[in-house]
Amino acid sequence: MLDCGLDMTSTLNFLPLPLVQSPRLSNLPGWSLKDGNVFLDKELKECSGHVFVDSVPEFCLPETELIDLSTVDVILISNYHCMMALPYITEHTGFTGTVYATEPTVQIGRLLMEELVNFIERVPKAQSASLWKNKDIQRLLPSPLKDAVEVSTWRRCYTMQEVNSALSKIQLVGYSQKIELFGAVQVTPLSSGYALGSSNWIIQSHYEKVSYVSGSSLLTTHPQPMDQASLKNSDVLILTGLTQIPTANPDGMVGEFCSNLALTVRNGGNVLVPCYPSGVIYDLLECLYQYIDSAGLSSIPFYFISPVANSSLEFSQIFAEWLCHNKQTKVYLPEPPFPHAELIQTNKLKHYPSIHGDFSNDFRQPCVVFTGHPSLRFGDVVHFMELWGKSSLNTVIFTEPDFSYLEALAPYQPLAMKCIYCPIDTRLNFIQVSKLLKEVQPLHVVCPEQYTQPPPAQSHRVDLMVDCQPPAMSYRRAEVLALPFKRRYEKIEIMPELADSLVPMEIKPGISLATVSAVLHTKDNKHVLQPPPRPAQPTGGKKRKRASDDIPDCKVLKPLLSGSIPVDQFVQTLEKHGFSDIKVEDTAKGHIVLLQEAETLIQIEEDSTHIICDDDEVLRVRLRDLVLKFLQKF
């Protein structure tokens, strides 16, 4: 199984979970059907024309119906965003296999899960809505609830216990490490340049190679650069995790982010940045580190609020070997690789586990707050949206590309605060993909259907699709795809003593052949040729050993023939041996030599020779021997 991501956009259908009692949210009117029926008004609330489920938010799980997940042997994880559904799979499907991931992926993935669990568990919700999921009722609901897919499979968030159990099933791996899977294939993680510890995977046998490219970046940000060279010579390259906003250039967006931030703060407003506790935030803090002095913002406090803020900031500094070269060299100076250490030291950046406690004492405005969750449905961000939403001086800047910002804002409408959308997605765009594919040259590319056509809203942008030769094979949800290669060869090992006994014969310059008689021993998908057992010596009267019963019969081998028959010379030879009235016909595959008198036909082709004569065995053997004269035997 490649990756194990969680679709969190389902939470956008739910009301936010406020940290502090919100009169606005609790007084929202219940929703009633057109005919005035109010039986759903406890479950569904209406806010500025949108309807939301008033319940604990639920998540959309990976497809579990298509295959029996208990039969999955291995899950390969590419980055910490792609493992958020792991507890659902490892704890509830009978999964008994192994999960492979790099250390930063596991550590930061744990932080993300911990934050998620914390955000949801610290605001217990008495009510759990399920009536609306009834198919007959769902049909009556307004969009987007009406169109939500597979709502019956949506699940509440997992617990910390499940997280710990899931993570315990992960085997840590390092970049370029080769891991044998049952002797059948070897898997190797490669740096993908997108996030700390993020990987692409190579799955290869001796003669076939499949690359799985997911969430990769060619930009110079904090992680180790992408390893492109190792992806070369792939039979199939599975391409996923491209940028979600192909038209937004990350550099431009960072500039936009800084400008809007400065503009707001200079006017005395506050800036709210809904974000994940790891990833782009490191780069944003680094940009701000360089920018705040130039923009005259050195006295503005920056707050980072997350239950895992401290761990995230500290973890980032210790994964030196997973960082880009510049940051690695800093470690040897020794300096902290990320400048946020200095921001913390100089008190410009302060971090808190939540808005409760120390934060409320230190809180100063105007300020900039980084906090989760980017869906605006849970986490401390809900509080700041309620607090700052009423003033047009304040600004919320969306940098995470995972959620539609308009949908995220829907339950906060009407909103006076300014909203800026600067999605920063450093993953590959289509230009980079096309360069990558030219460089790597896989025989076939396999990718989601969406990548093979321009975005629906910009159908003229043919530059916004994967362009490669041969055209990429695309797949859609729940589609079963046969990868375009066959396993034709297996590698077989020859035991040294057997190899010693071989006598190769050169049949063409540079090509030697030898006949081998051996026992093929196959175990764990490994094949070994072992010397055949010696024929048992007849030991007068004694019973044969039992073990030799298993030995296959070694028939007397006929010699192998090689070479080609020069027709002219062959005809001359025939004439020399008394055959006359010989006629030669050329065919598509070779020649036919007709011995008209003898009513015999010799059919010579590249890989076969047939002597067709009418029941005259003596003649056939004679002719055969003449043919054999032209061939080598060994």
Partner 1 sequence: MDPECARLLPALCAVLADPRQPVADDTCLEKLLDWFKAVTEAGSSLLLLQENPCLVELLFHVLKPQDLSSRILSFALRLAGTFAAQENCFQYLQGDPSLFVASAAGQLLVHVLDLAMRGPAKGHGRLQAQDWPACAQRIVCHLEDCLCSEAAPRVTQALHVLTTAFGHCHGLWTQGLWVQLSPLVARLLEKDPMPAPHALVELLLSVARSSVPSSNPGLWETAAQTLSRLSPMQAGPLAAGILKLQDCPQALRTQAFGVLLRPLACVLEATAQAPGTPGLLEGAAGDPMAVDMLPPSKSACVGLLCSTLAHLELLQPLPQRPSPWPQAPLLAAAVTILRFCNGSAAPSSEVGGRLCAMLVGCVRVQRAALDFLGVLSQGLGPRELVTQVFAVLLEYLMSPDSSPTVLKKAFQATLRWLLSSAVPPGCCDLEPRAQLVLRELLAVLQKRLCSPCWEVRDSGLEFLTQMTRRWGGQAGFRQTLLASEVPKLASQLLQDPESYVRASAVAAAGQLSSQGLLAAPSSPEHPAGPQKTPLEELLLVLTTDSEGFPRRAAMRVFTEWLRDGHMAVAEDRERFMARVLQAASGDLDWEVRVQGLELALIFLQQLLGARSPGAAPPGALAQALRALCRVQLFEFAFRSLFDCDRPVAQKSCDLLLFLRAKAAPSSSPQEAGDSPDVAPVEAALQRWRAGEQGQPLGELAPEAVLAVLRSMDLEALRDTLAESSDHVERSPQSLLQDVLAAVGVLGDNEADCY
In whole angstroms, how close is the CB of 25 to partner 1 at the nearest point? 32
Question: Measuring CA to CA, which residue among 619, 627, 581, 580 is closest to residue 603?
Answer: 627
Cβ-based nearer residue to partner 1, 16 or 366 = 366
Contact between 234 and 439 under an 8 Å Cβ cutoff? The reply is no
Six-digit token pair at 329?
């060299």
* Distance, CA of 100 to CA of 98 (rounded, Å): 7
Contact between 119 and 160 under an 8 Å Cβ cutoff? The reply is no
Please report, in angstroms and rounded to a whole number, the separation of the first and last CA atoms in the chain.
49
Cβ-based nearer residue to partner 1, 61 or 287 = 287
The residue ranges that bind partner 1 (CB under 8 A) are 247-249, 252-256, 258-260, 262-263, 265-268, 287, 290-291, 293-300, 366, 422, 431, 458, 460-463
What DSSP designation does 389 have? T
In whole angstroms, how close is the CB of 428 to partner 1 at the nearest point? 15
* Distance, CA of 212 to CA of 614 (rounded, Å): 61
In whole angstroms, how close is the CB of 277 to partner 1 at the nearest point? 24
- For residue 470, whether the previous peptide bond is cis, meaning omega lies within 30 degrees of 0, is yes
In whole angstroms, how close is the CB of 397 to partner 1 at the nearest point? 12
Cβ-based nearer residue to partner 1, 190 or 437 = 437
Contact between 80 and 105 under an 8 Å Cβ cutoff? The reply is yes
In whole angstroms, how close is the CB of 448 to partner 1 at the nearest point? 21
Contact between 426 and 221 under an 8 Å Cβ cutoff? The reply is yes
Cβ-based nearer residue to partner 1, 81 or 350 = 350
Cβ-based nearer residue to partner 1, 250 or 379 = 250
Cβ-based nearer residue to partner 1, 87 or 423 = 423
In whole angstroms, how close is the CB of 459 to partner 1 at the nearest point? 9
* Distance, CA of 269 to CA of 537 (rounded, Å): 98
In whole angstroms, how close is the CB of 272 to partner 1 at the nearest point? 17
Angle at 385 between CA 384 and CA 387, to 5 degrees: 60
* Distance, CA of 386 to CA of 378 (rounded, Å): 12
Q: Which residues pair with 134 in a beta bridge?
A: none
* Distance, CA of 279 to CA of 400 (rounded, Å): 10
Cβ-based nearer residue to partner 1, 443 or 462 = 462
Q: Which residues pair with 603 in a beta bridge?
A: 592, 610
In whole angstroms, how close is the CB of 265 to partner 1 at the nearest point? 6
Cβ-based nearer residue to partner 1, 431 or 483 = 431
- Total count of residues recorded for the chain: 634
